[in-house]
Amino acid sequence: MDVCKFLDLPIDIRKNIYLQLNGMLGNSNFDSNKFSINIQETRTENTIPVSKKAKSNRKTRIQTYYKIFEPIFAMLNHSNLFEKWLYHAIWLRYDSIMLDCMRINHFYGGQVLGSLDWIQLDGKLRLAYFDEHYVLQVWYTFKEYNKWIVRGSSAIETESKIDYLRLNIDHLNSMGSVFEKTLDDFGKHDMYLKINEIHFNSDEDENAESDFLPNYNEDSVTDTEAENTDALDISFKNKLNDKNIIAIIQRMENMKNLSKLTITTDRLYQTLVNLQGVRDNPGRIISYMVRKRITEIQINRVKQLSFKSRIGDFGKWENLNRLELNNIQYLDMNLIYFPDSCKELVLKNIRILKWWNAEESLVPILFTESAHEQKKIWIKKQNRKKQVKEYRLNEHYLKPEIIENCKDIVKSMIGRSSTNKLNYISLVSINKTVNNFIIVPSNLYDNNRIQLFNINRYIEEVYII
C-alpha cells in the first residue's frame, strides 16, 4: 500500500476505513483461545546474519522492556508471548498510519477508537489505547499526545480540547500497588482536570451478592415471572468495600471535567447510580456536585435495573443527556425513571425487554368496536428494510380527536415523565420481548429517531402512533 496516497484520501474516507478495522491496526487477535500477533514482515532475498553481540543486546533490551510492561501485559495472562507483542508495540506508536488514526479519533472527539485510558507506565502517567481484546496498542505521555496528535498535523485542523480521557478501574487494578501512586500523581501534576470518564468495575463477591435473578426461559417469560423477582430483592447487599473504588470516589470532587460514568456489575449500579444503601456507605457515595457534571452514563452487565418496589431512578442525575444500557438480563422500561434532561437512550444486547405498556391506556379507546371494525382501525405495511410489520392508525376511519388522544398517551409514556422528551432511541440486538411488538411515537419513528438493529426475530410488529 502506498502510505502517502492513503493519507491524501479525504478524512471521512479514512475515518470509515479505521472504523471498519475497529482499531485493530496492530492486527492482534485471539484464535482458538490462543493469543497471537500477526506482523506483516518484509522479506528480503539475502538474510543478514546476526552477531552474538547483537543477540545479547536484544536480550538485554527485552529484559528491560519486560520490567516496564509486565503489569500491563499480565492482564492477558499471556506473558510467554511478550516478546512477540513487543516487536510491533515499540514502533507502532510512531507509525504514520497509527498517528493518523489517532488524529482522526481526536478530530471526531473519540468516536473512532473510543476513549483513551490513563495508565501508569515506567513511573509516569501515560495515555494508552487498548484494542477490543485489552491488548495495549500505543501509549503516550500527555505532552507527547498533545504535540504529536492534537497539534501534530497541518492537514487536519483539530481543536485543542480533549474530552475523551478515561480512568479505567480494570487497568489500574491490574497494576497492583501502582494504583495509589497513579491517583497521587494526578494530584501532584494537577492532572485531575484531564479525566473525562471513569469506568467502575469490581469483581469483589459479585457472584455471591448479586445472583438474585432467576434464570428465565426466554421462550416462556411472562410479566408475572419478572415481577416476582421483587421477593428476592431483600437479599441484595449494598455495602461498598472495594478500597480502590472508594479512593476514586473520594477524589471525584477534583475532577471538574468529568462528564461520563461507565458502571459494570449489579452492586456498583445499585450503589453508585441508583444510590441504594446510602446510609450503609457514608463517604462512599458520589456527591451531588459530581452528579451535576455527569451528562452520560453507560450501564453494563447488570441483571435487572428495577424491581416492583425499587425503580431504576436516574432522576438524581439531573443533567444526564445520554443513557446506554448494555447486556441487561431483564429490563422493564415502565420501572425506569429518566430526568427531564435525558434526550438519548441506547439499548444494546438486552436479553428480555418489556417495553412501555401504552397498550393498557389505548385499549379502552381503540378496541371498543367489533372484530370486523377493528381491522379498519389499523393500516398494515411490511417494512422490508427494517424487517418488521408496521401498523398505523387509519386517519380516514378514526376521529381526529381520538388520534390526538392516542398520540398524547404514547408520548407521555415514553420516558415516564410529562416533561421528558426523549428524541432518540436505539434498539440493538434485543434477544426477547415480553410482547412481540412495541408502540412508538410517530414523530420519532418517521424521522429515524427510533433505530432498530438486529431485532427482526424478536420484535415482529411496530405500532406507530
- Region 299-318: what's the mean pLDDT? 87
Determine which helix (DSSP H) or strand (DSSP E) holds 260, and give its type and residue range: strand 260-264
Q: How far apart are CA 117 and CA 140, in angstroms?
A: 11
For residue 307, what is the DSSP state? B
> 254 falls in which pLDDT band (50, 70, 90)?
very high
Residue 235 to residues 210, 230, 231, 306, Cα–Cα distance (Å):
8, 10, 9, 14
- Alpha-carbon Rg of the chain, whole angstroms? 26
For residue 353, what is the DSSP state? E
Of 239, 336, 252, nearest in space to 286 by CA: 252
Q: How far apart are CA 28 and CA 39, in angstroms?
A: 9
| More confidently predicted of 158 and 254 | 254
- Percent of the chain at pLDDT exceeding 70: 80
| More confidently predicted of 24 and 295 | 295
| More confidently predicted of 269 and 68 | 269
| More confidently predicted of 82 and 462 | 462
Question: How high is the pLDDT of residue 125?
Answer: 93
pLDDT in tens, 119-156: 988 888 999 999 888 888 999 999 999 999 998 876 67
Burial state string for 123-141 with b = 16 or more CB within 10 A and e = fewer than 16: eebbbbbbbeeebbbbbbe
CA dihedral 78, 84, 89, 94 (to 10 degrees): -170
Do residues 299 and 305 touch, judged by C-beta distance below 8 A?
Answer: yes
Q: How far apart are CA 439 and CA 445, in angstroms?
A: 10
- Region 309-322: what's the mean pLDDT? 90
- Region 166-180: what's the mean pLDDT? 82
Q: How far apart are CA 267 and CA 203, in angstroms?
A: 10
> Distance between alpha carbon 151 and the CA centroid of its chain, in Å?
28
pLDDT in tens, 26-59: 655 544 343 444 444 444 445 556 677 776 777 7
> 385 falls in which pLDDT band (50, 70, 90)?
confident
Of 88, 80, 100, nearest in space to 39 by CA: 88
Question: How high is the pLDDT of residue 32?
Answer: 37
Q: How far apart are CA 315 and CA 129, in angstroms?
A: 33
Dihedral sign computed on CA atoms, order 270, 264, 162, 178: positive
Helices (H), 123-212: 142-145, 169-173, 178-188, 206-210
Give phi and psi for 41, each to the nearest 5: -95, 145
Highest mean pLDDT among 7-21, 23-37, 177-191: 7-21
Of 170, 164, 159, nearest in space to 259 by CA: 164
Q: How far apart are CA 235 and CA 220, in angstroms?
A: 26
pLDDT in tens, 202-251: 765 444 444 434 444 544 455 555 544 443 443 455 678 888 999 999 99
pTM of the model: 0.85
Residue with cell 457472584: 207
Q: How far apart are CA 220 and CA 440, in angstroms?
A: 24
Of 133, 134, 151, nearest in space to 142 by CA: 151
Give the strand pairing for 378-383 and 388-393.
Answer: antiparallel
* Domain map (residue ranges) of the chain: 3-32+51-195, 358-428+437-465
Question: How high is the pLDDT of residue 211?
Answer: 41
pLDDT in tens, 61-119: 777 888 888 777 766 556 567 777 887 888 899 999 999 999 999 999 999 999 999 99
**In the predicted model, what is the mean pLDDT of the chain?**
82
Question: How high is the pLDDT of residue 11?
Answer: 93
